[in-house]
Amino acid sequence: MKCVIDRIEEKIAVIFIKNKNITLEIPIEILPKGIKEGDWFDMLFKKNSQETFKMKKKNEELLEKLKRGEHL
């Protein structure tokens, strides 16, 4: 998705997504260094199946411990 930094307010970047009429507020600390108002960039959301599987397994293990009355 093509996005632009519309403005920055107190370390929060207000981002406008082109052709979608959507804005997002994102902490500037997770954006590329040096990004400023008016800069365009590409944003990509990519599913991470490996991390999803890993976290699902971890949650199942925690649930089992709770069912057995173990302390976490």
b/e sequence 59-68, b meaning 16+ C-beta within 10 Å: eeeeeeeeee
In a domain, 39, yes or no: yes
Say what percent of the chain tops pLDDT 70.
99
Is 18 within a domain?
A: yes
Query: What CA–CA distances, in Å, run from 35 to 7, 14, 18, 47, 61?
Result: 11, 12, 17, 25, 41
User: Which residues share a beta bridge with 22?
Assistant: 17
What's the pTM value of the predicted model, to 2 decimals? 0.69
pLDDT surpasses 80 at 71:
no
Residue 23: band (very low, low, confident or very high) from pLDDT cuts 50, 70, 90: very high
Provide mean pLDDT across the span 22-51.
94
Residue 32 lies in a domain: yes
Instruction: Provide the pLDDT for residue 64.
Output: 93
The answer to whether position 72 is within a domain reads no
Number of domains in the chain: 1
The verdict on residue 28 lying in a domain is: yes
Instruction: Give the mean pLDDT of the chain.
Output: 94
> Which residues face 4 on adjacent strands?
16, 40
Query: Which range of residues forms the domain containing residue 33?
Result: 2-67
